Amino acid sequence: MFDLIIRNARICDGTGAPGYVGDLAVRDGRIAELGPGPTLASAEAHRTVDAGGLVLAPGFLDPHTHFDAQLTWDGLAQPSLEHGVTTVIPGNCSLSLAPLRSAHREFLGAVFRQIEEMPKSAFDAGLRWTWESFGEYVEAIAPGLGLNVAPLAGHSLLRLFVLGYESRDRSSTPEEVRALQDLLRRSLDEGALGMSTSFSDVDHEFRPVPSRLATLAELDALCAVLGERGRPLQVLPEFWEADLLRTRIDMLAELSLRHGIPVHFSPLFESEATPGLVEAALERLELQARRGARVTAQMQTRPIDITFDASQASAVFAAMPLWMGTLMQGPEAIRKAFSDPSTRKALVADSETENRPIALSFTLAQTRLSAAKGASRSDVGRTLGEIARERGVHPAEVLMDVSLAEDLAARFTAASLAHADESKVGPALTHPLVQIGAGDGGAHVARFATYGDTGHLFARFVRANPVFDVEGAVKRLTKDIADAWGIADRGRLAKGLAADLVLFDPDTIDRGPEELAFDLPGGGDAFRFVRRARGVKEVFVAGTSVHRDGEGYSQARPGAIVEGPSR
């Protein structure tokens, strides 16, 4: 007697091998049997599913998320799970929520909210800090997990724990380096898969995050600890400039070679603002791979769209120092600046920069007014350039005028800022040194939806502009990621492996349209952008159904903390 049998499925096992119609059986959370044809015709199970020829694949892995906070109130990482994602890796870019001394919670919360763009109301209402060590964080989230989590320990957190607030200002002493190493060892022992670091994030006061105050020697010492267990390092480099990125690739390759560790950096963007960057980075990765280095680039599947309002700073203004400085000062100062003739003139001039922030092809003229409740409502959907021409003013003035008229609540959407040319993105996604990821799940919640990149891969790069067959796309979302991160018992369909499964229709799987969801802790006006799944019929974690199309989420919480490799 099995717990579950799925019959008549098109089994794509994650290896890229041709799919076949067959059956799969689960017992005790593991794949017990699978094979072609009516392999299990006479077998019995507590539940039998007729797949009707739909694709049965390993659950997808999302290697770049920031679900650290959300997992404390939502162990399903909604809506990622309903897209077929059964394992997530949070704690990227030097930021996790542990280890963390209780005295540093307020500071870390401010940093996390700034970088991951999460409303304070949701963070405060949803998060119940009960931990200091990494193990205590894992214990806090584990009982509620509906999907699997392979968390990283953030380098900035390690530094904050050991150096306190001085981690923002200085490098470490030799004694502190040893303490950092001990803390990382302990965190790995207590459930961390690996470590993340950042060379480019800034905190809520626009100061470099603590990981950036480390010396290369400190980072090397921490990589030595990762090397003791063959654990991965994730890095956010200066991804927007080719020379810098290639130099970082060389640096990461040395760390990989010296310590025998995999290193994953993210993101790698295709953008008309940085022509040739992807090709240059891939060439460098290939060069270092020939030396034996294991460095891969994470690349997302979706184009970059960003929604913003004028009540606070946004990344789209990164190359406009006056705009950035103004928007950092809060609503009252912003209203005053937008109303002052001389400041308006200076802001218009500042918006004329030809610099492109972090590889984004951002222009105010092409930005659309996407939400307004007052007098500007009739202009929703139009670009600021169109409105400006009609009014005989500059697009920057339209943004200021509409924002003032809407009490800074009007929203603007800059679409396809990068990564939108599918003729270039598609081939890059097939590169063996590119890992599909960088989706940022759980972050930037009021800027764009970070869910459904998996469905988008099938919709755009299997069906519309094919660079993969179904089996190839499944492999990229499963085995390739599991292998890259040393996750041994997931990512494939084979006897004895974890029964993380997704049943989907290859002709319709996709992400739905971006929509507002008012489901954040604390309620009120706080919202996030989500995309619902299409074409995903059922998702199983450890053989237990956790989401079924048309029925929603089950009450089961079969998720687990994923064990990393050991030497």
Whose Cβ is closer to another protein: residue 241's or residue 469's?
A: 241
First to last CA, the chain: 37
Q: Does 159 bind another protein (CB under 8 A)?
A: no
Tokens 């990762």 correspond to: 226
Token reading at 512: 């739905």
Q: Does 250 bind another protein (CB under 8 A)?
A: yes
Q: How far apart are CA 361 and CA 375, in angstroms?
A: 29
Give the binding-site size for another protein (rule: CB under 8 A).
Answer: 38
Stretch touching another protein by CB under 8 A, among 104-112, 234-242, 434-442, 558-566? 234-242
Q: How far is the CB of 419 from another protein (least distance, A)?
A: 17
DSSP H helix total and E strand total for the chain = 18, 25
3-state secondary structure of 435: strand
44, 26 Cβ separation under 8 angstroms: no
Q: Does 260 bind another protein (CB under 8 A)?
A: no
Instruction: Kindly compute the dihedral angle of the four CA atoms of residues 172, 178, 180, 185, in this order, to the nearest 10 degrees.
Output: 160
Pairing, β 434-436 against β 510-511: unpaired
Stretch touching another protein by CB under 8 A, among 131-139, 178-186, 241-249, 465-473? 241-249
Q: Does 140 bind another protein (CB under 8 A)?
A: no
**Residue-wise DSSP of 133-178:** SHHHHHHHHGGG-SSEE-PEEEHHHHHHHHHGGGGGT-PPPHHHHH
Q: How far is the CB of 174 from another protein (least distance, A)?
A: 13
Stretch touching another protein by CB under 8 A, among 37-45, 97-105, 214-222, 555-563? 214-222
Q: Does 258 bind another protein (CB under 8 A)?
A: no
Among 83, 246, 531, 547, binds another protein (CB under 8 A): 246
Residue 102's contacts (CB-CB under 8 Å, 6 or more residues apart) are 129, 132
Among 28, 124, 189, 238, binds another protein (CB under 8 A): 238
Q: Does 156 bind another protein (CB under 8 A)?
A: no
Q: Which residues of 182-196 are buried (b: 16+ CB within 10 A; e: fewer)?
A: ebbbebbebbbbbbb
Whose Cβ is closer to another protein: residue 202's or residue 415's?
A: 202
**Residue-wise DSSP of 460-529:** IIIIIS-SS-HHHHHHHHTHHHHHHHT-TTSSS--TTSB--EEEE-TTT-EE---EEE--STT-TT--EE
Q: Does 135 bind another protein (CB under 8 A)?
A: no
Among 132, 166, 241, 505, binds another protein (CB under 8 A): 241
Q: Does 199 bind another protein (CB under 8 A)?
A: yes
Whose Cβ is closer to another protein: residue 203's or residue 379's?
A: 203
Residue 151's contacts (CB-CB under 8 Å, 6 or more residues apart) are 68, 89, 90, 91, 96, 134, 137, 138, 191, 192, 193, 561
Q: 3-class secondary structure for 187-254?
A: HHHCCCCEEEEECCCECCCCCECHHHHCCHHHHHHHHHHHHHHCCCEEEECCCCCHHHHHHHHHHHHH
Among 35, 135, 144, 208, binds another protein (CB under 8 A): 208
Token reading at 204: 């809520």
Whose Cβ is closer to another protein: residue 266's or residue 383's?
A: 266
Footprint of another protein on residues 278-337 (CB under 8 A)?
A: 279-280, 284, 287-288, 290-292, 321
Among 37, 46, 124, 206, binds another protein (CB under 8 A): 206
Among 46, 120, 207, 389, binds another protein (CB under 8 A): 207
Q: How far is the CB of 118 from another protein (least distance, A)?
A: 24
Whose Cβ is closer to another protein: residue 319's or residue 369's?
A: 319
Among 6, 118, 141, 214, binds another protein (CB under 8 A): 214
Footprint of another protein on residues 394-453 (CB under 8 A)?
A: none
Stretch touching another protein by CB under 8 A, among 18-26, 129-137, 213-221, 481-489? 213-221
Whose Cβ is closer to another protein: residue 169's or residue 515's?
A: 169
> What is the binding site for another protein (CB under 8 A)?
168-171, 199, 206-208, 211-216, 219, 238, 241-244, 246-248, 250-251, 254, 275-277, 279-280, 284, 287-288, 290-292, 321
